Amino acid sequence: MTAAKQKIEFLDLKTPDVEFCGYSVPHPLEDKILFRVQTHRQKDALQVILKGLDELEQVFAVIQDKFEEKKAAHGESSA
């Protein structure tokens, strides 16, 4: 989960409208993440976060595709 939070933070920070992006976990046993996004030019922070999540979903889809390709190739070579 930490990797996903860091990826969202990275994707939001590379957006030109984002001035600050950070997160905290109030307690390790709570299933809760608090995000803080500060934007330039009156940009809606929620839209920035949603865009970051969409981009993250695309990144994970590429990773999954590559993994499945390698897994299939390995299965064929060991048969």
DSSP helix/strand/coil, 34: strand
Which residues, other chains included, contact 36 with Cβ-Cβ below 8 Å and sequence gap of 6+?
A: 20, 21, 22, 23, 24
CB 11 within 8 Å of CB 54: no
CATH class entry, domain 2-77: alpha beta
What pLDDT digit, counting tens, does each position of 23-64 carry? 888 998 998 888 888 888 788 888 888 888 888 888 889 999
Which residues, other chains included, contact 16 with Cβ-Cβ below 8 Å and sequence gap of 6+?
A: 40
Per-residue pLDDT averaged across 7-33, rounded? 79
